[in-house]
Structure 1
Amino acid sequence: MKKIAFIIIISFALYSCTKSNFLDDKTVGLTEETVFSDSIQSINFLNRIYLDAGFSFGPSRYTGSGGSGNSELSTDNAEGVNNTVVPSDAYVQGALTPGTVNNGFATDKDYWNGPYKNIRRVNLLMSKLPVTPFAESTKKRIRGELRFLRAWYYHYLLIAFGGVPVLQDTVYGTNDVISVPRSSYADFVSYLVSELDDAASDLRDVMYKDADYGRVTYGACLALKSRILLYAASPLFNGGSITDDPHLAALVSYPVADRNRWQLAADAAEAVINSGLYSLNVNNTTRPGYGFYQVFLRRVNSEYIFSYNRSAQKEFETFFLPPSRSGNCTMRPTLSLAEAFPMKDGKSIKESPLFNPNSPYANRDPRFDNSIIYNGMSYVTNTGTRAPVFTYMSTDAFPNSSADAYTSANKYTGFFSKKMLDENLTGSSSGTTERAWPLIRYAEILLNYAEAINEAGYPEKAYPKLIELRNRAGIQAGSDNMYGLKKDMSVEEMRAVIQNERRIELAFEDQRWNDIRRWKIASKVLSGFNTVQIITKTGANTYNYAAGYSQRPLKFRDAMYLLPLPFSEVQKMPVVKQNPGY
């Protein structure tokens, strides 16, 4: 039975505390008293807070000049439009400043205003919860949901800025002068962990019916705690401050590194695993790796821990497919991402005897075929038949003139995005697909545990989680049942494997930008240009494959490990100190 998403678009939304009216829509005629004395309106108010939960993940987040995609466009995973008006390009080209940090984003989709608006909504509903007409058990459940949602929005601020002003439960009025200094990074993490522990306690015994599927659960609280503690243990924040100023250093990181933070992160991930609430979506019978493909097209599955339910639609198909399939091809995978996927024996393309440079897409990890459209891949057409997608270049060094190719070399990578797409739909198909955006899924938790336990000094304990993921991916076990993994890896060797596994398993899921920053490798991977696949046709069915470079320059500098606080906020609150390097 299909379960219906509870998230609905309601007829009103709150202004932030700088506005004079309680409600956005003046024609609705609602007041605080009428909203919070009515159970339906109070639930609608709660639902409005959920409505922005996927703001960072959404495929249309970065807007302007035809660009669409999430933070993957600010990484080595994907190329976009190469225009500094678009935030992803402004970031990688070093053009983001305190005055422009929020420019170019759709309303409420930037890293500062969107979260804080929803944090205020949480605080307002929390303050009114005692007078709402709910049973005490329902109030307890709502309080748990609210605490998670507040931590959810704060965690975006944490990874983007470090310590920020923490408002606790305060609801500021329109005439209040707000002057709240930034929390230290250590205190901020402690606050979020405490809030999630309390939320988990409130939600431990809650069981949702079909109409409420998608609300915050006990498991979601544990999972977000796992993510936050993993970030906190990572090099950027665990004693890895990017400033010598001791006051600023305490705001943006733990001043001193502590390896035990990795163990705390491992324990938090293990708590999710041991809860028994989740499992990978596995189906290698239909075809190798079909469970990986299928998980993104099933709103209800065993792997989604916190997701953003969508109505039946074809948004990813419209955004990412090539023009011949009525798509906008707005986020195009890079060659370096394609090369990160191993072969079906689990070994890298440099190590595996299965790799053939003249046929580079054959015998790959099945996740490759489920994530990337490559030259010659058979794909459904607008008429329902199947035909190859061609991405080779013509003799004038520009993409060929067929409808499958890009219109200029500026947009060329040699690939199109396929992950999370229904392979039976095009942008013009009449069919629609039920889906939810995977904001946290169980695969991430397995990777969290593997990374944390390895960095804690126990690489041998990471193997089972990687094997579980590779088995689901459809990779061959091999005679040693190691799925291509080298035995007895050191911490350093295992680190490289885990970082690559995380890159390919979570590609296009709004994770890579966070990862390359917290690992402090962004200065290495965002330098020069992203790589692309230059493909030229040499015969009827033969091609030459060579590496090339995109036209978007990558100019990362160390200050960009954190975003600048918006200049307007620093102006309003002088006690709020700007991040280093801005």
Structure 2
Amino acid sequence: MKTLKITGLAIALLAGISACQQADDFLEPKTSALDETLVFQDSLRTMAFVNRIYGDIGFSFNKGRWSSHGNSEQATDDAEYKYSGVGQTAVILYSGTLSPLNFPFGEYWSLPYANIRRVNLLLTKLSSTPLSPALQRRVTAEVRFLRAYYYYNLLTVFGGVPLIGDKVFEINDFIDLPRNSYQECVDYVVSELDAAAQVLPSVAQYSEENYGRATRGACLALKSRMLLYAASPLFNGSAETQNATLASIVSYPTYQASHWQRAADAAEAVIASGQYSLMEDNTTADGYGFYQVFLKRVNPEYIFFQNRPANRDMEGFYNMPTRGGQNNSYPTHSLVQSFPMKNGKAITDPTSGYDPTKPYDNRDPRLGYSIVFNESLYFLPSANALRPVYTYEGAPSDGYTYSGQMTGYFARKMCDVNVSANSSFTTERGWPLLRYAEILLNYAEAITEAGKPELAYPKLIALRKRAGITPGADQLYGLKANMTQAEMRELIRNERRIELAFEDHRWNDIRRWKIAMSVNNGFNTRIRIVRSGTNYTYEVTNSIRRHNFRPEMYLLPIPDGEIRKMPASLQNPGW
């Protein structure tokens, strides 16, 4: 007789349509009840089940992930959270008050496993569905990609996790699974992606109604990210525990430089495919392609994305009060300072031309497309035109408040300057989950760490050229010639910060590089702007809430309930 012992993981693994009622929320109205037979004997319902697995792919990127207004970006040095209540999920993350017992981030663990279970259930039923053999083969590859994608999310947060293969657990199953080693998990994800890539079409081979489904390129791109993360300091042989078994669960047993070359090769495979390119337009305006890429669902740069209907997603989340937005996430001054000048030189370079009395003049065009700073233009419905946004201290509605969470900036990244939250307009937009710019940065980072920083130059030049940075006499777009590995490493990390800002990367990056203790363990910085007539003075101040990052937070704890009910799974170091 099987013991009935349901853990949180078990509940996730039992998700899907194992019970009649569980199908209702994603296949049919609440008044109907479908069992597995009814779902999988119908082609439309079968494809609806597949689409349900796709439905959660943006869960980590989702700007309203926690309480409709929180996200991990607000637990980094890139953004300040509008709210400061100690019970807010994002506050718990950035203040470091989380623990295995206080872990309000349940979807980190349960949501991927729920979808892994859905994939496994579908695979057991697919051959008996009315889908054609060709479609069955393609769908099998699609969901194997999606399963790998959900495992990637687990590995990034927790290290090695239980691999369940194709197993479909039932309600009476006793589930007490050990965690697989990190290497086993990475090898599994990569093998699944390789297998799916052999079957899936390229993006150009899909019909219009299938646009947005997993492609061969998506498999290669996710493999690039997975191997880059695996090669990084957090996972490449640096487990901070004396328990040898646990050490192999949370990282590779020993450091191997070859992991970096493997990651570079994976990124190069995406580049060599010729399927993707940067969206470049420096004719309309400098760096205009960087701005437009986030406003076009169909573009050459998106590799994998969450398709969205016409919307005001980003405007509602980021816009300032005068434009009707929730302004949930304020960019930090340190993020603003990380953008170079238009000539590509860092603002700390005395030859850059940076003027601290005019701090936003002649900067990298990506700054203006990512950040609303004082006197930035943005659509105002009452004027039906672009009007300045004033963020100086005391400015009506949008002005800096010394005692508040405001930083003197609002976010513009991925927003349409001609659409405000309080307007009736919408934008054609998908959420970027994997895009080509990231692949170029993946390659540059990996090849640099593999000991060949000179090979990173062409990829960085391509990104800076698209950004609207001027080439300079040496055609290096502000890059120093003959950089050492250490110099190139720091430049790439900064380039990644500004190119991928607010795209669900910074929290993962500062952890995998193991720099969070230094960059995210203190007060974020703000800019206090004081107006006197037509002149402004600028003062850098600290945020009002301290970020606390502890060493054990490089990997989050598995919720206590999981460990107590599945003693075969070891807890992460320090928890």
TM range (shorter): over 0.9
Q: 1:401 & 1:473 partners in 2: Cα distance?
A: 31
Q: 1:85 & 1:255 partners in 2: Cα distance?
A: 37
Q: Tell me which amino acid in the other structure corresponds to 2:464.
A: R
Q: Does 1:512 align with 2:514?
A: no
When the two structures are superposed, what TM-score results if normalisation uses the length of structure 2?
0.94
Q: 1:353 & 1:439 partners in 2: Cα distance?
A: 34
Q: Deviations over 1:494-533 (max 9, x none)?
A: 0000000000000000000000000000000111101111
Question: Residue 18 of structure 1: CA displacement?
Answer: 6.8
2:398 corresponds to: 404
2:355 corresponds to: 356
1:27 corresponds to: 31
1:334 corresponds to: 332
Q: Tell me which amino acid in the other structure corresponds to 1:180.
A: L
1:576 corresponds to: 569
Q: Tell me which amino acid in the other structure corresponds to 2:154.
A: L
2:90 corresponds to: 88
CA contact (8 A) 1:15 1:21 kept: no
Q: Deviations over 1:284-314 (max 9, x none)?
A: 0000000000000000000000000001010
Q: Tell me which amino acid in the other structure corresponds to 1:327.
A: G
1:444 corresponds to: 438
Q: 1:17 & 1:551 partners in 2: Cα distance?
A: 44
Instruction: Call closer, same or farther: CA 1:303–1:248 in 2, change over 3 Å.
Output: same
Q: Secondary structure at the match of 2:295?
A: coil
CA contact (8 A) 1:326 1:382 kept: no
Question: Residue 150 of structure 1: CA displacement?
Answer: 0.4
Q: Equivalent of 2:533, from 517, 534, 540?
A: 540
Q: Equivalent of 2:53, from 49, 52, 57?
A: 49
Q: Does 1:388 align with 2:391?
A: no
Q: Does 1:59 align with 2:60?
A: no
CA contact (8 A) 1:143 1:202 kept: no
Moved more, 327-336 or 67-76: 67-76
Q: Secondary structure at the match of 1:532?
A: strand
Q: Secondary structure at the match of 2:124?
A: helix
Q: Secondary structure at the match of 1:437?
A: strand
Question: Residue 544 of structure 1: CA displacement?
Answer: 0.8
2:126 corresponds to: 129
1:490 corresponds to: 484
Count of equivalent residues: 554
Moved more, 345-354 or 489-498: 345-354
Q: Deviations over 1:229-264 (max 9, x none)?
A: 000000000011122221111110011000000000
Query: Hey, which bits of structure 1, 4+ residues long, moved more than 6 A?
Result: none
Q: Deviations over 1:378-437 (max 9, x none)?
A: 2211221222211112xxxxxx25112366732120100000000001111111111000
Q: Equivalent of 1:176, from 162, 173, 176?
A: 173
Question: Residue 157 of structure 1: CA displacement?
Answer: 0.5
Long gaps (5+) in structure 2 = 1-10, 25-29
Identity level (%): 53
1:11 corresponds to: none
2:310 corresponds to: 312
Q: Equivalent of 2:109, from 109, 112, 117?
A: 112
CA contact (8 A) 1:82 1:410 kept: no
Q: 2:402 & 2:144 partners in 1: Cα distance?
A: 48
Question: Residue 534 of structure 1: CA displacement?
Answer: 1.5
Q: Secondary structure at the match of 1:410?
A: coil
CA contact (8 A) 2:13 2:168 kept: no
Q: Tell me which amino acid in the other structure corresponds to 1:491.
A: Q
Instruction: Call closer, same or farther: CA 1:305–1:16 in 2, change over 3 Å.
Output: same
Long gaps (5+) in structure 1 = 1-13, 394-399
Instruction: Call closer, same or farther: CA 1:15–1:484 in 2, change over 3 Å.
Output: closer
Question: Residue 82 of structure 1: CA displacement?
Answer: 2.4
Question: Residue 16 of structure 1: CA displacement?
Answer: 5.3
Q: 1:473 & 1:191 partners in 2: Cα distance?
A: 37
When the two structures are superposed, what TM-score results if normalisation uses the length of structure 1?
0.93
Moved more, 69-78 or 513-522: 69-78
Q: 2:20 & 2:507 partners in 1: Cα distance?
A: 36
CA contact (8 A) 1:305 1:440 kept: yes
Q: 1:390 & 1:126 partners in 2: Cα distance?
A: 55
1:9 corresponds to: none
Instruction: Call closer, same or farther: CA 1:245–1:410 in 2, change over 3 Å.
Output: farther
Q: Equivalent of 2:193, from 185, 189, 196?
A: 196
Instruction: Call closer, same or farther: CA 1:205–1:528 in 2, change over 3 Å.
Output: closer
Q: Secondary structure at the match of 2:39?
A: helix
CA contact (8 A) 2:197 2:216 kept: yes
